[in-house]
Structure 1
């Protein structure tokens, strides 16, 4: 059970507003004049019942319950629930490096996204809210291996700190899925001038490549990574996580063999994926039969590379390590079999759309 679940249980038990808050060192010392051994003691302060969960570097994280109308039996039950939670927490070691607060935020995010609430502001009872007002870059890391060993929060946090070299937040979401929040200045080097959009995108892509290489070198398995532009998490986090999850889903469908997925490179794929299944099949039938080309791995790779290189024949040949004449032969063969000359913009657009429809329909 995480701290957010504890808070909800206490709220249901007492019918009172509850919350979890990390106190500063001075506030911790004044409110709870005891060490960890005295954590089973309750404190009444400013109309609230406070119960400490754990201490980290002099800061105590505590749960509070509105005191007005609370019966003595309910107080005892709150004390019992909190004590058991604190004991279990200590036994599992989850109190290291802010994992409890991170899991609380992760549980809240999962609940909001399950209800398709993509624009909700983080509520005051989320302990980490006070650290989420500045611009931050969100990354979503997802493991593809179903039976791979569980990666511990502590080991992943240690690895991330070695890469970003500064403060980050690691938020466990669903199983084998983690949200990483890094300060925007860590990526820009503290330069406040306005960067061109392309340079910012390039910087995010390069940072993602380095991060993915580091993770892949440390752990066995396949990991997908997506990144989005900077947000102020307190207001934009749910929408950003929803975008990143969709980006990884689209990447797995349309970018097979790639493991870094960027939302600004998947606009057309997002549009195609939103088309109902029946309509996709109708469109494929109306466009014509391209199956002989799209089912041929060599031809499919040729087309994908040709479009990736902006339909530039010379650059495509270099990327494929083939002679220019070999590429022209393949393009002519595609024209003979489909009637579409991909060196023409109109035909290229139709073939690109057909490729995407074919991929998503075949996947389904």
Structure 2
């Protein structure tokens, strides 16, 4: 039985509003006497009776029921029900990783996203809310391993803690989809002088590459990872998840062969993807026939690398491991077949747009 079901059962039993909350370390110690024999006893706070459910990393998660109008017998029943549930949880070991709190937040998040509510603040009955007021960096991890066994919450959390620290929060969203929240301070650990030379986007990109490599080395298969700038999760979590999901969708369409997707690198792709399909096909017809070039893997890779290197011939040749003259030959061939000279800004912009339109329409 999940903690959310327990909360609902308590409301049915008492006719009173029930909730679940995770207390901070200081409140856990002062209110519940964490570490003492009395730590499993209920306390009265704000006209509610709070009964400890379990402890995780020095924080008590407790279940509350409104006190007004409850009989002594009902109070005893509430305490018995919660402690019985806590005993069952302890036997399974689930509570050790905070999975129950994560599942509660997951249900709420998925409901908000289904209803397209991207600016909703977390309600007070979310157990993890007290840990989501500071700046945190959101990552979204999606596995494409259809035939492999699902990765367990505990094993992934253990891996994440080895990369970040004990404060990382893991939230399973859909099957084989996980939201990861890490402290923003992870970007500022280390040498201050070196950090001044790198932008936040660069640091996020490097962190994502390291995280993806760690996961890919641990489990066989394909994993997509997206990251967004720091947010205050208590207010911006739903919008961040929506952005990350869209980023991975766009990455799968426009960045085939890549597995780390960054929203600030996909602005033009987002615009192209928003154009209705009929209009995209119409635009392709108006621009001209680029099929011979864009259907050629070598030419397509040449163009993609050329644009990635900001149309720098020398840097593109180095990246492709070809001679400069070989690259110039390919660019001249593209001009002969399409009439577009990608060394010119105007033509380069048209070719880049055509590439994106071709990629998204080719998938239909």
TM-score range, shorter chain: 0.7 to 0.9
Q: CA, structure 1 residues 169+190, in 2 after alignment: closer, same or farther (shift >3 Å)?
A: farther
Report Cα offsets for 1:136-171 as digits up to 9, x if no partner.
111111111122222122221221121124522122
Question: Are 2:236 and 1:236 equivalent residues in the alignment?
Answer: yes
Q: CA, structure 1 residues 114+76, in 2 after alignment: closer, same or farther (shift >3 Å)?
A: farther
Q: CA, structure 1 residues 321+191, in 2 after alignment: closer, same or farther (shift >3 Å)?
A: closer
* Residue in 2 that maps onto 1:140: 140
* Residue in 2 that maps onto 1:206: 206
Q: How does 1:1-364 map to 2 (within 5 A)?
A: 1-8=1-8, 10-11=10-11, 16-23=16-23, 24-29=28-33, 34=38, 47-56=47-56, 59-68=59-68, 82=82, 85-86=85-86, 88-189=88-189, 199-364=199-364
SS in 2 for 1:134: coil
Aligned partners of 1:292, 1:342: CA distance in 2, in Å?
16
Report Cα offsets for 1:290-336 as digits up to 9, x if no partner.
11111111111111111111111111111111111211111111112
Aligned partners of 1:191, 1:5: CA distance in 2, in Å?
48
Aligned partners of 1:336, 1:81: CA distance in 2, in Å?
78
Report Cα offsets for 1:116-148 as digits up to 9, x if no partner.
111111111112111111111111111111222
SS in 2 for 1:269: helix
Aligned partners of 2:3, 2:186: CA distance in 1, in Å?
30
- Per the normalisation by structure 1, the TM-score is 0.88
Aligned partners of 2:77, 2:287: CA distance in 1, in Å?
67
Q: CA, structure 1 residues 302+8, in 2 after alignment: closer, same or farther (shift >3 Å)?
A: farther
SS in 1 for 2:185: helix
Q: State the shift of 1:46 in Å.
A: 5.0
Structure 2 unaligned residues grouped into runs of 5+ = none
Aligned partners of 2:255, 2:186: CA distance in 1, in Å?
28
- Per the normalisation by structure 2, the TM-score is 0.88
Aligned partners of 2:67, 2:113: CA distance in 1, in Å?
32
Aligned residues: 358
